[in-house]
Structure 1
Amino acid sequence: MKTENPTIPGLGETPKAVWEGFHPPRLTQARHLAGMTKKDVAQGVGVSPAAVGQYETGSSRPRPELLPRLAEVLDVPVEFFLAGRPLGKLDTTMAHFRSLRSTSGAQRNKALGFAGQVWELTYALEKRVQLPLVDLPGFAGGEVHPGTEIPRDPAEAARALRAHWGAPKGPVRHLVRLMEARGIVVVVPPEADQATSKIDAFASCGLPRPLIILTPNRADDVYRHRFSAAHELGHLVLHSSSTGDMQQEREANTFAAEFLTPRDEIHPLLPRRMDLARLANISRTWGVSVKSLVYRCRELGLSSDATTSRAYQKLNTLSNLPGFCPEPVSGYPGEQPIMLTQAFELASADQGLTVRRLARELAWKEARVSELLGMSDTRPVLRLV
């Protein structure tokens, strides 16, 4: 026998109960995560785009019987729309996108929604496990040495941060692991988040913990991965908000180059005449690309513009050969984030936390929790035809 308000699977709430606790920003977040426009949602639910807009502003609420359909269209549990949970909300001024001009508003919104979800997951885990304290000078929420000042010049800032973190001279061996140890949340989105993965890395200082998203790059190149991480670290240290201009991008690039290859240390090692074989050896030792070392030679006055241009052309012809071709990130465990996954494992062992329990608390689908924890099922899918 049917009832007027059937029970919602999971938390046992009814559509009427969710309607009473409906939180408009959650609808916006769900829509952004789905990469959908208001028109898309309206067509899927059977209302007007204006009605969806009113739901998101809070000027009206969707009827209780529409909520299950909304949840189906946006691929979230109905409970996702309930108020009362911490909400990770960001706008474009709070995030630094490396490829701002080449990404659409929908892609940026999806990326920001993803970042918000990462923070919500982090918050849920941090209630159970003490994560590393935030030790990042210049970050307002820093818990270690909050009064430490970093120079505003990008290269000087990179040297100062290395000194502050006690990084030894020479290459930074495990950059991502180093950042996590200083309280920075680093995440690689699941490949299913296609709109997010099209954005070439971004960072946010607008949440209680600094966050860096390292999207899987098309080349799957660990050196590019490391430079992206250092670039986003530069944004967190140098820029309290994003203006989206090229000056900030140049400053972050300068920071990254100096952090990974300090001028005083790399200069004596670089050849006085362009030698790509020697640069390839330096590349493997320092964990940076040969191309970046060619640029460093030009930047430090060791090669002319013409020589640098010829070196780039030569590198293009060598790009598929050993020593010059991209090296997969999977071969470098120290460059893969583990903090959130290990926090979950610790909470599971110590407190019996499960994916199902965490999903209920976050009002997410279990598959989404598993994805963000890097626990997605990697088995091949059997398709019967």
Structure 2
Amino acid sequence: MKYLAERLKSARLMNGLSLQGLADRIHNFVTKQALSKYEQGQVVPDAEMIGILADALHVRPDYFHTNTEVEFGVIEFRKLKNYPSKEKSRIVEIAKNELSRYIELEEILGIETKFVNPLESMVIDSHEAIEKAAEKLRETWGLGRDAISNVVELLEDHHVKVLEIESTESFDGFSTWVNGKDIPLIVLNKSKFENKLDRKRFTALHELAHLLLDVNGLEEKQKEKYCHAFAAAMLIPEKTMKIELGGKRFKLSFQELSAIKQQYGISMQALVYRAKDLGLISENYLKQFYIVFTQLGYRSSEPVAYEGVEHSNRFSQLLFRALAEEFISISKAAALNNQKLAEFRKENLVI
């Protein structure tokens, strides 16, 4: 009873509805007071009512009976002090719902996904420490010094869950630990990065830094600087950067920065800032560069876009593996994919 009540409240928040809003959506079939009793576990809705609520909240009826445990740790919506609380709740509940289905699928397949943080023992107190942390993670994950072709897929392959959720333009992403320290989770704003894959890659790695680096004791501005530096170092390692720029420079051209951006999937602005951090250009040149970049209107939209792929199909691959190996029925596959059975059959060829 308690879990059904929690799932009902979660589904309502996912839809951004108040109790009265939900009552209105079901044409006041029951009052908001009755809905409140459902959510508090004081009354259990019958099968007919569950069906009505499922339709109104765009979930399957079996959604209310799923019992996969998903407990989020502390979530920081950085730079969003005035972000609407209703929208925060909506994003968090959608993330919980998507992640619970993901975890359930892995449990069905017997996949062990407990994450081990290779940077846990490192002290982060300087930019040199950040460089060492990025080098160590690249080494642990067998990346060498090459470009990362798909950051989201890389994270998923190493048991970092990455979810993409539609939200308003002011939201970039957040990260948190799930079920204690078992599962690292990164949530990204799908609509914001649709045509800005370099920013999507950078944001994902910035959020990874918040998860893996011991920076919680630092003041906010310093913490963000270190996480930015870590993301840049992961995208283009120090030795690679020095080779690409040929050592210390007095000037950089837009054309060479565009070429490096296309190869490594990092913005021109982040490249120039990284060059300054590594002592390859001066602070004064960095300021001059940003002045010119701003005058040309390139701060929000750079003159060349990064073209690549930033998505993981891991969940889909696991889902159809489970279906093909008959670990799950087609009805269960539809439920895990958050679709009605007829819709799932129509969209997917099932032999």
TM-score range, shorter chain: 0.7 to 0.9
What letter corresponds to residue 81 of structure 1 in structure 2? F
- Secondary structure at the counterpart of residue 175 of structure 2: strand
- Secondary structure at the counterpart of residue 95 of structure 1: coil
Inter-partner Cα distance in structure 1 for 2:218 and 2:7: 26
2:237 maps to which residue?
262
Where do residues 214-253 of structure 1 align in structure 2 (5 Å cutoff)?
214-216=188-190, 217-218=192-193, 220-238=195-213, 245-253=220-228
**Contact 1:95–1:241 (Cα < 8 Å) also in 2:** no
**Contact 2:197–2:306 (Cα < 8 Å) also in 1:** yes
**Contact 1:203–1:236 (Cα < 8 Å) also in 2:** yes
- Secondary structure at the counterpart of residue 144 of structure 2: coil
**Contact 1:96–1:232 (Cα < 8 Å) also in 2:** no
1:201 maps to which residue?
173
- Secondary structure at the counterpart of residue 127 of structure 1: helix
1:103 maps to which residue?
83
**Contact 1:151–1:157 (Cα < 8 Å) also in 2:** no
Q: Which residue of 129, 135, 140 corresponds with 2:109?
A: 129
Greater displacement, 338-347 / 96-105: 96-105
Q: Which residue of 10, 28, 33 corresponds with 2:9?
A: 28
2:271 maps to which residue?
293
1:38 maps to which residue?
19
Deviation at 1:122, TM superposition (A): 1.6
**Contact 2:95–2:163 (Cα < 8 Å) also in 1:** no
**Contact 1:95–1:202 (Cα < 8 Å) also in 2:** yes
Inter-partner Cα distance in structure 2 for 1:368 and 1:178: 33
Deviation at 1:230, TM superposition (A): 0.9
- Structure 2 residue 74 is matched with structure 1 residue 94: yes
Where do residues 138-153 of structure 1 align in structure 2 (5 Å cutoff)?
149-153=121-125
Relative distance call for 1:173 and 1:295 in structure 2 (3 A) is same
**Contact 2:193–2:199 (Cα < 8 Å) also in 1:** no
Inter-partner Cα distance in structure 1 for 2:87 and 2:342: 19
**Contact 1:150–1:160 (Cα < 8 Å) also in 2:** no
**Contact 1:27–1:81 (Cα < 8 Å) also in 2:** yes
Greater displacement, 226-235 / 111-120: 111-120
**Contact 2:60–2:340 (Cα < 8 Å) also in 1:** no
- Structure 2 residue 317 is matched with structure 1 residue 342: yes
Inter-partner Cα distance in structure 2 for 1:244 and 1:106: 28
Inter-partner Cα distance in structure 2 for 1:115 and 1:56: 20
**Contact 2:268–2:302 (Cα < 8 Å) also in 1:** no
- Structure 2 residue 307 is matched with structure 1 residue 325: no
- Secondary structure at the counterpart of residue 148 of structure 2: coil
**Contact 1:80–1:363 (Cα < 8 Å) also in 2:** no
What letter corresponds to residue 61 of structure 1 in structure 2? V
Inter-partner Cα distance in structure 1 for 2:217 and 2:99: 19
TM-score calculated relative to the size of structure 1: 0.71
Inter-partner Cα distance in structure 1 for 2:176 and 2:98: 11
Deviations 1:59-78 (A, max 9, x none): x2265465444333322234
What letter corresponds to residue 327 of structure 1 in structure 2? Y
- Secondary structure at the counterpart of residue 186 of structure 2: strand
Inter-partner Cα distance in structure 2 for 1:77 and 1:116: 16
**Contact 1:290–1:324 (Cα < 8 Å) also in 2:** no
Relative distance call for 1:63 and 1:173 in structure 2 (3 A) is closer
- Structure 2 residue 95 is matched with structure 1 residue 115: yes
What letter corresponds to residue 32 of structure 1 in structure 2? L
Inter-partner Cα distance in structure 2 for 1:308 and 1:219: 28
Deviation at 1:236, TM superposition (A): 1.6
Inter-partner Cα distance in structure 1 for 2:17 and 2:95: 17
Inter-partner Cα distance in structure 1 for 2:141 and 2:59: 41
What letter corresponds to residue 203 of structure 2 in structure 1? S
Relative distance call for 1:221 and 1:21 in structure 2 (3 A) is closer
- Secondary structure at the counterpart of residue 161 of structure 1: helix
Q: Which residue of 154, 172, 177 corresponds with 2:153?
A: 177
Deviations 1:257-295 (A, max 9, x none): 222223344245433323222222222232211111122
Relative distance call for 1:363 and 1:164 in structure 2 (3 A) is closer
What's the RMSD between the two structures over aligned residues?
Answer: 3.9
Where do residues 302-313 of structure 1 align in structure 2 (5 Å cutoff)?
302-313=280-291
Which structure 1 segments of 5+ residues have no match?
A: 1-19, 140-147, 379-385
- Secondary structure at the counterpart of residue 101 of structure 1: coil
Inter-partner Cα distance in structure 1 for 2:173 and 2:39: 28
- Secondary structure at the counterpart of residue 210 of structure 1: strand
Q: Which residue of 60, 74, 81 corresponds with 1:77?
A: 60
Deviation at 1:363, TM superposition (A): 10
Relative distance call for 1:187 and 1:61 in structure 2 (3 A) is same
Deviation at 1:31, TM superposition (A): 1.2
TM-score calculated relative to the size of structure 2: 0.77
**Contact 1:186–1:211 (Cα < 8 Å) also in 2:** yes
Relative distance call for 1:327 and 1:283 in structure 2 (3 A) is closer
What letter corresponds to residue 80 of structure 2 in structure 1? L
What letter corresponds to residue 178 of structure 2 in structure 1? G
Q: Which residue of 258, 278, 293 corresponds with 1:280?
A: 258
Deviation at 1:138, TM superposition (A): 6.1
Of all paired residues, the percent bearing the same amino acid is 23
Which structure 2 segments of 5+ residues have no match?
A: none
**Contact 1:180–1:337 (Cα < 8 Å) also in 2:** yes
Q: Which residue of 158, 167, 175 corresponds with 2:143?
A: 167
Give the aligned length.
333
